[in-house]
């Protein structure tokens, strides 16, 4: 029986673990991807007191949580249930863990477009992180989908590596920063495909083309590219706990100012929550709050049990 089971090993979950371990709570962290999205940041300048790669920062988080005694395991959680105050967390492999409290910190997942070839070629020409995978496309032709800052940053990075970069966006106006758009417009090897939608990604073992639709003419065309970068943002997928805690219409977990959810003994922190600003420093701060709230809850339930 753990005092606290933390689902998610990004900045929120690992910070929560540091706090619960320092309070001597028996802590289990379960994650599919330690470090979370922060790992993808090649250079961070907005985490106070630190400047460097997201990967290095998250290695420090992980080491610190382990050093204070947290048990970290890899796994995909499939169910979380409350059986009269004892939480049961089941993994896809069948393992079951029990805890007195649970902290939800499983962040967001890359949004998917839902076109043919997207899943089949993931990692084989389809990518969701330009910072991680751009170096594979030296002197090759690639296409970036999206109109936000992620897509614009991806194009900026890829334009220095690939021979040609298409930037495809479903509207004429960009959501990302105008300054970045201006910079990209000056690049000779970048071609804009505005008001275009991706329709199908084709290939054999690896991607060799993408079919796109011009929304204005309603004509489709096939573009030869070896890499397709989907940079269309992230979404929260909290279906796993919708029977347990209140969610908003974006499927984010509702929390109060101390990380409590609508369900006693269940806490949440970071990008999975309704917090508006999805930032590493905010996730870490919320993780600390959720950890401290879980500690208060566990201690209070122990007192209640002793009295009864
Ligand atoms: P985002 O701002 O939500 O942009 C997602 C883009 O993808 C939008 O342009 C959207 O089109 C498009 N899109 C969404 N679903 C699509 C679909 N099914 N098919 C085609 N296109 C689709 O996401 P983001 O760019 O990942 O940025 C997330 C947050 O992180 C933002 O606040 C951003 O500013 C921030 N960020 C900051 C930096 C930085 O260094 N400052 C870098 C990266 C990200 P519409 O515009 O038509 O909705």
Check whether residue 224 and residue 258 sit in a common domain: no
Which DSSP symbol is given to 243?
T
pLDDT of residue 45: 79
Ligand 1 pocket residues where CB is under 6 Å: 111, 113, 145-151, 153, 170-171, 175, 232-233
Question: Do 20 and 97 fall into the same domain?
Answer: yes
pLDDT confidence of residue 201: 98
What pLDDT, on the 0 to 100 scale, is given for residue 32? 93
Same domain flag for 138 and 208:
yes
Residue 166 lies in a domain: yes
223 and 269 in a single domain? The answer is no
Among 230, 263, 284, give the residue marking a domain's end. Answer: 230
Residue ranges making up the domain that contains 93: 4-108+236-307
Residue of 199, 233, 236 with the most ligand 1 atoms within 8 Å of its CB, for mutation: 233
* Residue-level pLDDT at 129: 84
Do 268 and 172 share a structural domain? no
Indicate the angle between helix axes 280-307 and 54-67, nearest 10 degrees: 20
Cα 77 to chain centroid distance, Å, stands at: 15
Residues of the chain where predicted confidence (pLDDT) is lower than 70: 42, 308
Same domain, 98 and 157: no
Rounded Cα–Cα distance for residues 202 and 125 (Å):
10
Report the CATH number that the domain containing residue 280 is assigned in CATH: 3.50.50.60
What's the burial of 264, exposed, middle or buried (CB within 10 Å: 0-12/13-18/19+)?
A: exposed
Q: Are residues 164 and 245 in the same domain?
A: no
Decide if 157 is inside a domain. yes
In the chain, DSSP assigns E strands to 2-7, 27-31, 44-47, 50-52, 71-74, 77-83, 86-91, 96-104, 109-110, 126-127, 141-145, 164-169, 190-194, 196-203, 207-214, 219-224, 227-230, 234-235, 266-268
Catalytic site residue from 67, 81, 132, 304: 132
Identify the domain boundary among 169, 202, 230. Answer: 230
- Known catalytic residue: 21? no
Three-state SS for 56? helix
Main-chain dihedrals φ then ψ at residue 192, nearest 5 degrees: -90, 135
Do 103 and 244 belong to one domain?
yes
Q: Mind listing the pLDDT tens digit for each residue in 220-278?
A: 999 999 999 999 988 898 999 999 999 999 999 999 999 999 999 999 999 999 998 88
Whether 113 is in a domain gets the answer no
Nearest CA to ligand 1 atom 38: 149
- Both 225 and 242 in one domain: the answer is no
How many domains, in total, are found in the chain?
Answer: 2
Atom 19, ligand 1: residue with shortest CA distance: 113
State whether 242 and 215 are in the same domain: no
Distance in angstroms (rounded) separating the CA atoms of residues 291 and 308: 26
Q: Which residue of 147, 199, 235 sits with most ligand 1 atoms within 8 Å of its CB, as the best mutation to test the pocket?
A: 147
Task: Provide the pLDDT for residue 308.
Answer: 64
Q: How far is the C-alpha of 122 from the C-alpha of 52, rounded, in Å?
A: 28
Structure tokens at 185: 């417009």
| Residue 275 belongs to a domain | yes
Find the radius of gyration of the CA atoms of the chain.
Answer: 22
Residue 81 lies inside a defined structural domain of this protein: yes
- The reported pLDDT for the residue numbered 38 is 87
Question: Under 8 Å CB-to-CB from 260, ≥6 apart: which residues?
Answer: 267, 293
CB 15 within 8 A of CB 283: yes
Please indicate, yes or no, if residue 114 is contained in any of the structural domains: no
pLDDT score recorded for residue 288: 98
CA–centroid distance, 151 to ligand 1, in Å, is: 7
The mean pLDDT of the chain is: 95
- Cβ atoms within 10 Å, residue 121: 21
């Amino acid at each position: 029986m753990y005092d606290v089971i933390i689902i998610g090993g990004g900045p929120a979950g690992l910070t929560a673990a540091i706090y619960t371990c320092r309070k001597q709570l028996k802590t289990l962290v379960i994650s599919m991807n330690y470090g979370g999205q922060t790992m993808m940041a090649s250079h961070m300048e907005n985490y106070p007191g630190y400047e460097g790669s997201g990967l290095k920062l998250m290695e420090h988080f992980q080491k610190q949580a382990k050093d204070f005694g947290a048990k970290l395991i890899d796994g995909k959680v499939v169910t979380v249930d409350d059986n009269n105050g004892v939480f049961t967390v089941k993994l896809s492999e069948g393992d079951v863990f029990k805890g007195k409290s649970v902290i939800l910190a499983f962040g967001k997942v890359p949004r998917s477009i839902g076109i043919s070839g997207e899943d089949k070629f993931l990692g084989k020409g389809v990518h969701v992180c330009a910072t991680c995978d751009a170096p594979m496309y030296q002197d090759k032709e690639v296409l970036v989908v999206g109109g936000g800052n992620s897509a614009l940053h991806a194009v900026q990075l890829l334009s220095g590596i690939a021979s040609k970069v298409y930037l495809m966006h479903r509207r004429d106006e960009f959501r990302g920063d105008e300054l970045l758009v201006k910079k990209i417009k000056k690049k000779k090897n970048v071609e804009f495909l505005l008001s275009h939608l991706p329709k199908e990604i084709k290939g054999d073992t690896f991607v060799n083309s993408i079919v796109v639709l011009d929304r204005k003419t309603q004509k489709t065309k096939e573009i030869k590219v070896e890499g397709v970068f989907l940079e269309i943002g992230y979404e929260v997928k909290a279906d796993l706990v919708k029977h347990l805690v209140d969610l908003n219409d974006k499927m984010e977990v509702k929390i109060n100012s101390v990380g409590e959810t609508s369900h006693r003994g269940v806490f949440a922190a970071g990008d999975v929550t309704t917090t508006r600003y999805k930032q590493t420093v905010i996730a870490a701060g919320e993780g600390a709050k959720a950890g401290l709230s879980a500690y208060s809850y566990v201690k209070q339930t122990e007192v209640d049990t002793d009295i009864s």
